[in-house]
Amino acid sequence: MTTQSIAGPFQPGHNHKACVRDAMNIAEQLCQSKDLRLTKIRKRVLELVWAGHEPATAYQLLKKLRAEKENAEPPTVYRALDFLVEHNLVHRIESLNAFIGCDHPESEHVSQFLICSHCNQVAELDDSVTINHAVSEEAKRLGFKVSNQTVEIMGLCAACQ
């Protein structure tokens, strides 16, 4: 049996300040090691995404940026998000058309998400062996070739139950 790592707000005693600090440090180290430019705007968008464990839409991010910098435009946010997704620093939550910070961008992985339908908190599961294998094997059995896999599970977190 594999151990699942559940990151984020569903962990008892979750320290969000440390969570954000660690995410930003990892992002900076990752970009530096891959010779990628983590520009001021990319870094700021990443910080805004990590501000909470609720998924953030591009529009919400733009609104926050405009509060800081009036001339922020939608393409600026979308380009930053494209970069952050491409380099696994954030994930796109398909069902919500929103973005959430990645807990471990340093490793390639397919993620599964627990989404609280009441408080909108999101936790990323990391079980690339069991869940991905089960989906891939069932798809293969049905003659279906998986090209992209996103598993999003809606429910209620412990605090909202």
Q: Characterize the bridge pairing of strands 90-93 and 122-126.
A: unpaired
> In this structure, is residue 7 part of a structural domain?
no
pLDDT attached to residue 39: 94
Domains contained in the chain, number: 1
The CA distance from 88 to 34, in Å, is 12
pTM of whole model > 0.95?
no
- Note down the domain range covering 51: 15-155
pLDDT attached to residue 5: 39
> In this structure, is residue 160 part of a structural domain?
no
pLDDT attached to residue 57: 96
pLDDT attached to residue 10: 58
> In this structure, is residue 104 part of a structural domain?
yes
> In this structure, is residue 4 part of a structural domain?
no
3-state secondary structure of 98: strand
Q: What is the CATH number of the domain that holds 47?
A: 1.10.10.10
> In this structure, is residue 3 part of a structural domain?
no
The CA distance from 5 to 96, in Å, is 23
Q: What is the pLDDT along the chain (161 residues), one digit of tens a residue?
A: 223 333 455 566 777 788 889 889 999 999 999 999 999 999 999 999 998 778 999 999 999 999 998 788 999 999 999 999 999 999 999 989 999 998 888 887 788 899 999 988 888 886 667 888 888 899 999 999 988 888 899 999 888 99
Phi, psi of 111 (to 5 degrees): -105, 155
> In this structure, is residue 9 part of a structural domain?
no
pLDDT attached to residue 9: 56
> In this structure, is residue 135 part of a structural domain?
yes
> In this structure, is residue 102 part of a structural domain?
yes
Please answer whether residues 72 and 66 qualify as being in contact, where contact means their C-beta atoms are separated by less than 8 angstroms. Answer: yes
Q: What is the dihedral of CA 45, 124, 82, 67, to 10 degrees?
A: -20
